[in-house]
Structure 1
Amino acid sequence: MAKLTNALIIGTALIAVAGCSKKRPETLPPAPSETAPPVDQTTTPTGPTTTGVAPGSAADFQQSVTADTVHFDLDQYDIDPQARAILDSQAAWLAKYPNVRVTIEGHCDERGTREYNLALGDRRANATKNYLASRGVDASRMTTISYGKERPVAMGSDEASWAQNRRAVTVVIG
């Protein structure tokens, strides 16, 4: 009797598992290929040329916009006319690629305390984000981070170096 009960339990389990299996789709998707991502092609008077840059990539962003960086005056985070022009070109590119996400980094020069510069860098990044949002870029696509004075682009303790370090940088993610 025990053998019959075990056989019934095993048989029932096999039927239950077989009934839960997924059916194979009628058409299978193509196998992954070993091809490179699509490249941007431009036309010159001599014919099409390949730039090697994928549309919507970080490299495409760098080539297409006026600049990825806006600069600020000492202790300021307002968007001046020069920054508006740069951010308008970024907003146009971001409108062209609505699935691209960006991080906006806020930076400061070496003067001031660490805490003050982190707060100022945050205000610069958010001012940049708010301007891009006012130009139609979805705010959920943008994140901000403040590095304060921790990541200078120019090393030096002079006005020229400080001016380069007071900035907000738009970085394409992924």
Structure 2
Amino acid sequence: MSGINYDLSKIKGFVFDVDGVLSPSTIPLGEDGYPRRMVNIKDGYALQLAVKKGYRIAIITGGKGIAIQTRFESLGIKDIYTGASKKLPILKEWLSKENLSPEEVAFMGDDIPDLQCLRHVGLPCAPYDACWEAKETAAYISKFSGGYGCGRDIIEQTMKAQGKWMSDAEAFGW
């Protein structure tokens, strides 16, 4: 049974921020001044499985860099928006492009720049260590912190509710 108080059968798409959600909120800087992000392998597994199962997935992040693009493209995600200073217009454009209603989408964000998107979707989610305002806005707060499995948490619960988690041989590979 899901711990998410939402009709998960409605969910057809997921949108994620990166820093503080799919990567921990503490990011080491390299000697060249560029951030080095960690990613969670379990989040990655769930993301690529969700893509294979036909869910629409978007990444909308203020972060920049080829590493973000490369990481999420390698998981099969096509809609990757980096350097997003204003996320809501991008979310609305993506919803229109994918022919999705806000009620069919879960968005996970952790900080002030994510609040408008959290307020716009049917299932607003936040990592355990999100800022107070994001937690207050979220319908679901993961028991996992950003970068430590919160992305997998909402994907797994949704797919289980829809009977798609470990439903066939496709689940046992990358």
Q: Which has the larger radius of gyration?
A: 1
Higher strand share: 1
For the criterion TM > 0.5, the same-fold answer is: no
TM range (shorter): 0.3 to 0.5
What TM-score results when the alignment is normalised by the length of structure 1? 0.33
Q: Which has the higher contact order (CA 8 A, sep 6+)?
A: 2
